[in-house]
Amino acid sequence: MEALRLILLYVHLIGFALLLGGSLAQYISGRIRINGAMLWGSVIQLVTGIGLAAPLRDGDEPAPAKLATKGVIALLIFVMVFFSRKRETVNRGHFLAIVGLTLVNAAVAVFWR
Q: What is the per-residue pLDDT for 55?
A: 74
What is the chain written as a DSSP string? -HHHHHHHHHHHHHHHHHHHHHHHHHHHHT-----HHHHHHHHHHHHHHHHHHSS-SSS-PPPHHHHHHHHHHHHHHHHHHHTTTT-SS--HHHHHHHHHHHHHHHHHHHH--
pLDDT tens-digit map of 63-81? 889 999 999 999 999 999 9
Provide the whole-model pTM.
Answer: 0.91
